[in-house]
Amino acid sequence: MLEVTDIKYIRKEVNEKGCSYSDVARRTNTDVRTVKKYADQETFRPSDKT
């Protein structure tokens, strides 16, 4: 599972900076499908689970 900071980074890189899913996946050592999943979410609400 990704940390909240990782998800925020993914969303910023893809949605604000316009980086590709594959580029962000390489930089974060994450599967491209995971990057796409988090980048394409309408809203992101971190859960309170620990």
| Residue 49: predicted pLDDT | 60
- How does pLDDT run across 3-38, given as a tens digit for each residue? 999 999 999 999 999 999 999 999 999 999 999 999
The pLDDT confidence band at residue 48, using thresholds 50, 70 and 90, is low
| Residue 17: predicted pLDDT | 96
Distances 17 to 1, 11, 49 between C-alpha atoms, Å? 24, 9, 29
The CA distance from 7 to 11, in Å, is 6
pLDDT mean over 34-49: 84
| Residue 43: predicted pLDDT | 82
